[in-house]
Amino acid sequence: MPIQPNAQHQYNVTQADLPLSCPMPDMYLWNSHPRVYLPIESSGWAKCSYCGAEYTLVRGEAPAARTAAA
């Protein structure tokens, strides 16, 4: 089931989520901004210019470990 986009402002992502887009593929699109791709591979951090969501790349975790940061 898709999750609500832009509901949180910090997300942890893994290599399995790359290439990283905001909103992410498992988020609803009908009530969000256009999908944009964020460069996160080199710095390990990215911020969406539309909604301000921040993404942190967690290296070395299992693909299913993507969580929203508190």
Global confidence as pTM: 0.73
Residue 70: predicted pLDDT: 44
Average pLDDT over residues 19-44: 89
At residue 68, the 3 state secondary structure works out as: strand
Over the stretch 1-20, which tens digit does the pLDDT of each residue have?
666 656 678 999 999 999 99
Pairwise CA distance, residues 47 & 53, whole Å? 6
Residues contacting residue 54 through CB under 8 Å, at least 6 positions apart: 9, 10, 11, 45, 46, 47, 48
Nearest CA to 3 among 11, 59, 51? 11
Single-letter residue type at 4: Q
Q: How far apart are CA 32 and CA 43, in angstroms?
A: 26
Domain boundaries, given as residue ranges, for the chain: 10-68
